[in-house]
Structures are given as C-alpha cells and as structure tokens.
Amino acid sequence: MDRKLSIPGGLTGALLGLAAELALEEITGMEIVNGLLAVIGAGFGLIRIDRRIYEATVNLLKRVPVEPNSDYRDVLEQIDEMSLELPELRESFVKLVQAGIEAQKA
Amino acid sequence: MLGLNSLSKFFRKTIGPRIEALGLLPHRYYLHRALDALEEDDIDEAVRMVTLAGNDKKDARWRLVCQQVIFRCRILVSQHEKQLLRFETEMEIFGKPSELTDTYLRLQKAEEQARDILRNYELSLFNQLNGFKSDSVTAE
C-alpha cells in the first residue's frame, strides 16, 4: 500500500496538539506533560518496589546524624541502639555493611 | 494520551484521596507513598500509608518499610532529646531569672511536644508490627 507523508499535515497536527495542551493547561491549571511523567514514574515505582525499599534503606543510613567528634564506632553503636527489636531492618543494615566491606576488599 | 493524563490528574485531585483512604488501592501503592513520605520526613503521612498498607502483617516488604519508619522516628526523637538537653544546659549557664528564660521554656515545650508525637507514632507502628491493636494513629 502506497502511503504518502504530508509534512504540512504533520506540522499542523503537532501545532494543534500543542495548542490543545496549552489551552487545557490554561483552563484547568493542570500541567499535562509533568502530570504524565509523574504517572509514568509512579507506575515504574510500583513495579520496582524492591529497588525502592533498598534505596530507602541506604538513604536511612546516610541520614543518621554524625556528631563532629564521633568516630565510626559511635555511629555503629547509635545504629545498633536505634534498630533494637527491628530484626528485618537490622539484617538489611548488616548486608549493606558486608557488601561495603567486600567492595572495599575487591 | 491527553485524556488519560487529564483523567488521572482529575482522579488524584478529587476522589483519589478518598479512595486512597479506604485502603482499596494496591498494597505496593501505599508502600511507595510511605517511602516518598519518609524521604521527605513527613512522618505523619508515612505512618498513615504504612497503616493503610498493613493488611498482611507478615509481608516482608511491609515489615521492612514499617521498621524503616520506626527507625527514622527514633533518630528524630534522639535529635529532639539532644536539643532539650542543650536548652537545659544553656538555661543553667544563664541562670534562672533571665530574659531568655521564657524563650527557652517555649522552645523546650515545642521540642517536648514534637518528641512525644514521634514517640506516639513509633509506638503505634511498633504495635502494628507485633500484631497489637493500636488506637493512637488511625488512617483517616
């Protein structure tokens, strides 16, 4: 089947799409493209929840406050104290530390 | 594409929060939202989302997210306690009848309130984690 592409037609379509998006944004106050990206992001987030939980665990450790005079033992002690009776989280922390040690060795 | 996006936006701004509060959305959705809130230190929202996601207390993902929020609560409580200790020390240095005493007392009260709210959240999640009923925080 012979198909003919029309450049003016394509440009008109794009222009109409852009005008529709801008008009909708003006009338409703909704940011169409950002909204779409947010929905796609949330979709990926739902699929990749395990990755997200892992990142949150790393982030949690990074946000443990460190006093200027304290050394790594104080920080470890603090983490140990704060994760009392939280077995799964402790296990995750231990795995992260082990992975860090192994990465340093390698 | 345009229609779908507008529809989802409309959903999120109108009936979305109501449906969300019913706990009918996928389990992972609430965990995702709890992690977002935790990242922003919005503990109130994180606790609400963990509570909504907590139909299955044995679910490994739920348990881990719940423990993450408890851990963050504990860290924040310790920071408030350190701040309280600092106020007490400074009040001792300046002496009791001081112009700053009122300010210190107000700050101290605010710190104590923040600490107590966080402890309440921690206790609520801890009870959920261990299968006890908790009335201190309810999912609205």
Distance between CA atoms of residues A45 and B10, nearest Å: 21
Domain residue extents for chain A: 7-46, 49-105
Report which DSSP code applies to A63.
T
What is the pTM for the complete model shown?
0.73
**Which structural domain range is residue B29 located in?**
24-129
CA A80 to chain centre: 27
Pick the more confident residue, B48 or A98.
B48
Q: How many domains does chain B have?
A: 1
CB contact under 8 A, A60 and B60: no
Pick from B5-9, B13-17, B83-87, B117-121: least confident:
B5-9
Asked whether residue B3 is assigned to any structural domain, the reply reads no
| pLDDT, tens digit, 9 for 90 and up, residues B67-83 | 999 999 999 999 999 99
Asked whether residue B13 is assigned to any structural domain, the reply reads no
- Of A19, A26, A55, the C-alpha closest to B68 is A55
Pick the more confident residue, B113 or A41.
B113
Residue given tokens 């490994």 in the structure block: B60
| pLDDT, tens digit, 9 for 90 and up, residues B19-57 | 778 888 888 889 998 999 999 999 999 999 999 998 788
Asked whether residue B88 is assigned to any structural domain, the reply reads yes
> Which B residues, 62 through 101, put their C-beta within 8 Å of a C-beta on chain A?
63-65, 67-68, 70-72, 74-75, 78-79
Asked whether residue B90 is assigned to any structural domain, the reply reads yes
pLDDT of residue B140: 40
Give the CA diameter of chain B: 68
Contact B17, A51 (CB under 8 A): no
The phi and psi torsions of A9 (rounded to 5 degrees) equal: -65, -45
Q: What share of chain B is helix, strand, coil (3-state, %, to 5)?
A: 75, 0, 25
ipTM over 0.85: no
Asked whether residue B86 is assigned to any structural domain, the reply reads yes
Q: From residue B8, how far is each of A31, A35, A74, A79, B35 by CA, in Å? A: 12, 8, 48, 41, 21
Asked whether residue B9 is assigned to any structural domain, the reply reads no
Residue given tokens 């998006």 in the structure block: A21
Residues of A in contact with B75 (CB under 8 A): 63-65, 82
Minimal C-alpha gap between B75 and chain A (Å): 7
